[in-house]
Amino acid sequence: MAAGQLSILTGKLSLRPLQAPARGGLAAAVMFGIANLTLCGPAVATAADPAPPAPLWRAGVAAVRITPDNPLPMAGYDARTEPAEGTEQNLYAKALVLEDAAGGRTLWITLDLIGATAGLRETVANRVTETMGIPASALLMNASHTHCGPDYDHAAAADYRAFLETTLVELAGRAVATLAPAELAFGTARASVAMNRRTPTSMGYINHPNPAGPVDHAVPVLSVRNADATLRAVVFGYACHNTTMAFRRWLGDYAGYAQEYLEADHAGTTALFMMGCAGDQNPYPRRQLAYAQRHGRTLATAVEAAIEADQDPSRHQRPVTGLVRAAFERVDLPFADTARRPHPYPVQVIRLGDDILLVALGMETTVDYALRIKAEFTVANGPAVWVAGYSNDYPGYIPSRRVLLEGGYEAEQTGPAEQTGPWDPGIEEKIMATVRKLVERTRPELSR
């Protein structure tokens, strides 16, 4: 072999030709070779070099198709008794796991389904805690509330329900297996898809578009980027029923299209939708597939604005730093009929550092809850306040005190199926008291 110069190139050894000295013999040649030992790549660390900073976050993400293969009963409209006839758009479950620098984790699972029942959450939480060590308090399950998905609690859907439980646990495991260094940022925009659907008339409140009614048009967005700054995932929220369509085909509705468009426009990115407090909010206009697609594009465009796509530099992206803190509690909500057993209602608070305060409420909360929580907990230089409904429990409406006293559909169609009946008007204060308690429990000063 010809004489060669030894070099180190990104951790690999290689030989390249060199010319030995004309005089001096073997000893000179050896010394020449040692003198020409070179490093081609990152410098070798010495005791004086600082250690590279540890990543503030690691993130893992996964998605799985959960479209039924059989014509199961559909959820959302009691009058629609016939099973689904086919698939217009696939339904998905998606998982995002976030791990802070101290090893604390939170797992968010979003579903293109009518809701995440308490029973489904309990099953998934138990298995995730047992196999992955993620505490149940840190698991958030949120459903898009599409009315073109399966009724997975129906007796005819027992096999699908078993599939769903197993699939969601496997999905969580896949997300954990992909944990990698990440940068998190929060931004927000607005979209005008929703309109209040409670219209006052001489006959009381009816289900009809009310352009003067309260709404929450905020589009909160958490962006997750790889170490090289490429976009890996976006979690975005909005408060509006996914009820553009009522036909007998599987469909994620406007939220399904918004996710689809974002993933098509950002190759390699997973988009996760989190439903807000949409109990009294509908998309208008409705009943045509083209409207569902337009609403989806409107929402996807708002997400682009929130992440400040093509803006350099960005000025409204809030870097997320710090630790994960999570608290979960069930509060007994009484019915107006005191003979009925109170319902254990889930309230969850998840903080991401000092930058995001996420309040997740169960069932179909009306928009007053989001507006009140954001008004109470949004402070100057404080965390961004994000409020989600349809989390960790379903079915049943959770009206505000105002809605309960006004009456109408959302005030009457309340409570789990086995306990349907009006709530006691004091439930709003009980929920708010629990939110305050959990917000206090997760304050940074009390973190580990």
Every domain of the chain and the residues it spans:
4-40, 57-322+364-414
The stretches in the chain having pLDDT less than 70 are 1-54, 414-420, 445-448
CB count in 10 Å sphere of residue 133: 10
The residue ranges of DSSP E strands in 4-56, in sequence order, are 4-9, 12-17, 38-40
Residue 447: predicted pLDDT: 47
Return the pLDDT at 55. 76
Tell me, what DSSP letter sits at residue 54? P
Please calculate the CA angle 147-336-387 and round it to the nearest 5 degrees: 45
Q: Which alpha helices (DSSP H) does 133-252 contain, by range? A: 158-177
Q: Cβ distance 198 to 399 under 8 Å? A: no
pLDDT at res. 28: 44
pLDDT score of 223:
98
Would you state the pLDDT for residue 19? Answer: 44
pTM comes to: 0.88
Q: What's the rounded Cα separation, in Å, for the pair 185 and 191?
A: 20
CA distance 389 to 392: 9
Question: What is the distance in angstroms between the CA of the first residue and the CA of the last residue of the chain?
Answer: 61
Q: Quick one: what percent of the chain has pLDDT higher than 70?
A: 85
